[in-house]
Copies of this chain bind each other. A is one copy, B any other.
Amino acid sequence: MKRLSTLDASWLAVESEDTPMHVGTLQIFSLPPNAPDTFLRDMVARMKVDCDVAPPWNYKLANAGFLGRLLAPAWKVDKDIDLDYHVRHSALPRPGSERELGVLVSRLHSHPLDFSRPLWECHIIEGLENNRFGLYTKMHHSMIDGISGVRLMQRILSTNPDETNMMAPWSVKPVRGRKASGENAATLNWAFNEALHALKIQVDSTPKLVSALTRLVHSARHEEDHLTAPFVGPRSMLNGRVTGQRRFATQHYPLERLKQLAKYADASLNDIVLYLCGTALRRFLLEQGQLPDTSLTAGIPVNIRPADDHGTGTAISFMIASLATNEAGPLERLDAIRASTCSAKEHLQSLPRSALNQYTMLMMSPYILQLMTGLGGRMRPAFNVTISNVPGPEKPLYYEGAKLEAMYPVSLIAHGGALNITCLSYAGSLNFGYTGCRDTLPSMQRLAVYTGEALDELELILLSKKPGARKASKSGTARSKRGASAK
C-alpha cells in the first residue's frame, strides 16, 4: 500500500458526477504500408496477451468506496487485472472523419472510470478515414497529470518504423534517474507540491490557505502597465457550474507556419497561440450574444527562470494574460496580448524563487480550493480559461510500424472553468486539443474551426501589410532580419 500525496488525493476528493477527474491522450496513427486487414485486431490481441502490467497501470485504490477513497486514499497493486476490460477495441461509423472521431472521444471521455479497478482505459479506434486509427488513453488525475500522461504514452513509441513486437504501453517499466525527475519537474503536479511545501501548508487546512491566498493576491497586484492580475477576468459562460458530459475537438497546424507568423508579428509562438484562441473565443461568444465587455483572461503554465537563479535551472509557474477579446481589430488584439504576456513574464522573472513558488501556488490553488470548498463556478474566476502549450517529441515516432501522425491532450475541466485548451508540438506540427463542458458550451467544436479561420485571417493581414515578407522570408537575409527584430 502506498498513500497518495495530498495533491493526488485531492483529485479523488473532487471527483463527482459533474466533474470526473481523469485526463486523456488521443494519438492518431497511419496504418503501415500494406498492413493486413487484421492489423488492428492482431495488435489488440498482442497488447492483451502481454500481461506484465507495470506501475502506475497496475495500481488500484485500496478502498474503492466513496468514503474510503476520500478518507484513506492509498494505492495497492492489482495482481489480477482484467485487460479485456481496460483495453477496448472500438470503431467509428462511416465516413470515419475527424468529426466522428471527436464525437466518440467526447463520449468516452465523459464516462467516469470504474473506481474498483486500476484507474485507466485504453481504446483502439478503427475506421478513421485515410487508413488511420486512433488510440485514446484515459487515466485518473490522481495517478498522473495530463502532461506526464502524454509523455507516458509517447515513451512506448520508437523512431524506427521497422520495429515490431513492441511492448504494450502498460508493460513499459517507469524510467528512473535524472531524466525522469527532470521530466517531473516540468509538470504542474510537481510544481504544486513544491509550492505547497514552500508555503508549509496543507490543502486541507483551508482557513490558513485562504489567508495566504488573500495576502498573495494583493502582493501580486503590482501597478505595472499591462499586468493582468488574477480575479480580474469577467464572469462569462466559461465560468459557471459545469455538468458531467464533455465535448472534445482538435485542430492542428504546421509549426513552421505559426513560427513564421510570430516572426512577422514580432511576437512569440505562444502569443500567436493565445491570439488564435482569443480570436476564436471572441467570435464564439459574440455568436452566443455572450461576449463580456472586458477581456477574457487566460491562465498559462510557463517555464521561467527565477530572479535569484543564475544557473540553468527553471521553475514551472503560471502566468495570467489578457486574450484581448474586447478588441475588435485583429492587430490591436495581437498587440494587446503581446503587451500582456510581456508584462506577465517580466513580473514572474522579477520574483525570487520562493516568491515565484508562492505565486505559482496562488495561481493554481484557487482551482483546487474552489473545487474543494464548492465555490467553483459561484465566485469570480481567477482566470477565464486555461491554455497550455507543451513541447512534445520532435522526431516522427512509430508503433508497430504505424506512424504517429498527431497527438492531442484531452484534459479535465471543473466548476468555474468549462474550457481547457492544450497544445502539444510534435514532429513539426502544433496540435490543439479543446476539452469543454457539453451543456454549458454548446457547439464548442466551432472553436476549433474558428481557430483555423483566425490563422488564415492573421496570415492574410500580416502578409498584405508586409508585401515583401513572404518572398523575403525564403531568403536567409530576410529571415535573419525578421529573427533579429523578434523578441
Contacts and interface: CB of A to CB of B under 8 A. Distances in A.
Interface string A116-135: 10000000001100000000
Contact of A93 (B17, B100, B126, B243): B126
Contact of A40 (B93, B116, B244, B438): B93
Nearest to A38: B94
Interface string A93-119: 110000010011001000100111000
Interface stretch (A82-90, A328-336, A354-362, A365-373): A82-90
A92 interface: yes
A41 interface: yes
A90 B93 contact: yes
A91 interface: yes
B85 A89 contact: no
> Interface residues of A: mostly helix, strand, loop or mixed?
loop
A210 to B, nearest CB: 27
Contact of A41 (B91, B94, B114): B94
A114 B37 contact: no
B111 A111 contact: yes
A296 B485 CA distance: 84
A343 interface: no
Assembly of this chain: how many copies? 2
Contact of A89 (B88, B89, B93, B243): B93
Contacts of A115: 17
Contact of A91 (B88, B91, B114, B245): B91
Contact-size category for A? 20 to 34
A85 B40 contact: no
A101 to B, nearest CB: 11
Contact of A37 (B41, B94, B100): B94
B114 A245 contact: yes
A93 B85 CA distance: 16
Given A85-B438, A91-B94, 14 more contacts: A38-B94, A40-B93, A41-B93, A41-B94, A89-B93, A89-B103, A90-B91, A90-B93, A90-B104, A91-B92, A93-B126, A111-B111, A116-B244, A127-B127
Contacts of A439: 82
Contacts of A82: 438-439
A211 to B, nearest CB: 32
A10 to B, nearest CB: 21
Interface string A280-299: 00000000000000000000
Contacts of A111: 111
